Amino acid sequence: MVQKTKTKTRGFDPVRAAAVESLVLIEQGQQADYAIEGVIRDKNFRPLDIRFLSQLVNGATKMRRRLDHELRFYLAKPSTNLPLLLANVLRLGLYQLRFTDRIPDAAAVSESVNLAMRMMDRPRANLVNAVLRASIREPEKVQFVSVKDDPVKHLADYYSFPDYFVKYCYQEYGLKQTKQLLQNFNKPPRVTYRVNFLKAKPEEIIELLKKEEVKFSEGKFIPEFIHIDQGGLPLERELLQSGKVFVQDESAGIAVRLLNPRPDQDCLDLASAPGGKSTYMAIRMRNKGRITSVDKSKKRLEVVAENTRRLGIKIVSPVACDIMEFKGGPFDRVLLDPPCTGWGTAGKHSDLRWSKTVDDVKNLAKIQTAMIDRAAKLVKPGGVLVYSTCTIMRAENDQIIEEFLLRNDKFEIDPASQFFPDKIATERGFVKTYPNVYDLDGAFCARLKRKL
């Protein structure tokens, strides 16, 4: 065993070691954020270390299929399944070589060899050294199936996605748009700040960001959303901790704008935790009226309560209850944001592409159908129901709404075009956003009005 003190090989990098530990946990089924959080809990890492760790873990997780595909060309026995630890040391090393631009090749190789020595043994360290050096010398050895012969496999291997998702996108959007979509999912995620009207105005936040030389761009469709075009959470204490802004993608805000809650209305947010939409509803209502925020998780509702306190919101009432058992209302406005596969947020959740399956789409569609039927019973005559997801799968979106309307003649589509331009408002009256269009998360919203 190599000692922590200096020997003939340099000491191992604890941040990269933590990255490998995290990758193993993720492959074993943990969510990426929880895996990283658990690994670093007892380590005294600086914020800079944690950002580097997150970049490595999320990047290598996203590109797992691509990395495995390339590694096979440099292994003596490419069809053999590698031990979990060895596989992830190799993936992390190759990720640094292929997909980062600030880590020298020599450093990526030597740090990977040191990790193999520390975490395994000399023979495996030699294998890591040989494979990574070969990948630098002979990058041309890597081959992909022709896009003409098998477009789904080519795209899935190259951009690192499961076959079923690539096949869906290819059939739905065609080759060019599917390439763009997958490319955007692989970009580093960006943070968006939603300005809290109760404590600040968008122009005030914009001036502060300019003064502090923070790179940003204004919202595409809602002016109180500001996209941060650099890493981290700039001005965290001044803006986030003070409650002047809240982190939320603009696509999530679109659902609330479509709902259009007004001051003094009685509103309901179903499956509400962690409260991003509830708090935005309250802000749009100028903190006047009532919002019942329902979620079955008491722990997650504690986050809702904390967010409302920080933002200075007084009208949100958290209720711990299963949606199917909730009794109340009827309400002027009902927002249903049911559990979904989340395929519109694959750029922000690196493990999602490996944890979601075709069966998840089918099973969640059944749950979504039951939830929208229940939500409809809670809407006043003349009231509005908005159905919102963060997925781009038609079976969870359009299909849910069309089948609901066939079952329920008391509701009709209230066109989204009265709130948004046709860039995101479809002819059918829905809102659809995509990462390759305006750099927003993928999302779907439908505004349904109950007839008088």
CA 211, 227, 432: angle at the middle one, nearest 5?
160
Return the structure tokens found at 104: 């020298």
Return the structure tokens found at 165: 């998702």
Cα(114)–Cα(12) distance, integer angstroms: 5
Dihedral pair phi/psi, residue 80, rounded to 5°: -80, 135
Domains 14-141 and 191-247 share a fold: no
Three-class SS state of 194: strand
Domain ranges for the chain: 14-141, 151-185, 191-247, 250-450
Nearest CA among 285, 286, 323, 291 for reference residue 304? 291
Identity of residue 354: W
Sign, Cα dihedral of 184, 389, 296, 352: negative
Whose tokens are 């708090």? That residue is 279
Identity of residue 2: V
Cα(36)–Cα(33) distance, integer angstroms: 5
Dihedral pair phi/psi, residue 357, rounded to 5°: -125, 175
Nearest CA among 406, 418, 379, 433 for reference residue 220? 433
CA 231 to chain CA mean position, Å: 16
pLDDT given for residue 232 in this prediction: 86
pLDDT given for residue 10 in this prediction: 56
Who contacts 277 (Cβ-Cβ below 8 Å, separation ≥6)?
252, 255, 256, 269, 335, 337, 388
Return the structure tokens found at 271: 């499956």
Cα(421)–Cα(166) distance, integer angstroms: 29
pLDDT given for residue 11 in this prediction: 80
Return the structure tokens found at 130: 């040989």
Residue 280 · residue 194 · CB < 8 Å? yes
pLDDT given for residue 438 in this prediction: 87
Whose tokens are 């019942």? That residue is 292
CA 110, 113, 117: angle at the middle one, nearest 5?
140
Residue 228 · residue 191 · CB < 8 Å? yes
Residue 287 · residue 313 · CB < 8 Å? yes
Whose tokens are 């965290």? That residue is 236
Return the structure tokens found at 361: 């789409």
Return the structure tokens found at 406: 């066939």
CATH topology of domain 14-141: N-utilizing Substance Protein B Homolog; Chain A (1.10.940)
Cα(215)–Cα(232) distance, integer angstroms: 11
| Helices 276-284 and 250-259, axial angle in degrees (round to 10) | 50
Q: Where are the alpha helices (DSSP H) in 32-104?
A: 32-40, 47-62, 64-71, 84-99
Cα separations (Å) of 173 from 132, 160, 176, 196, 319? 37, 18, 8, 36, 40
Dihedral pair phi/psi, residue 46, rounded to 5°: -75, 160
CA 6 to chain CA mean position, Å: 41
Return the structure tokens found at 89: 């040391």
* Alpha carbons within 13 A on the beta-carbon side of 393: 27
pLDDT given for residue 273 in this prediction: 87
Q: May I ask the CATH architecture of the domain 191-247?
A: 2-Layer Sandwich (3.30)
Instruction: Classify 250-450 by CATH class.
Output: alpha beta
Identity of residue 224: E
Residue 396 · residue 443 · CB < 8 Å? no
As a whole number of Å, the end-to-end CA separation of the chain is: 76
Edge-to-edge strands, sheet with 245-247: 216-218, 225-228, 191-195, 245-247
Q: What is the largest CA-CA distance in the chain?
A: 81
Average pLDDT by stretches of 10, the chain with 452 residues: 39 94 96 96 92 96 98 88 95 97 95 96 96 97 97 98 98 97 95 96 96 94 95 92 96 96 97 92 97 93 94 96 91 97 96 96 97 97 98 97 97 97 95 93 98 94
pLDDT given for residue 329 in this prediction: 83
* pTM of the shown model: 0.92
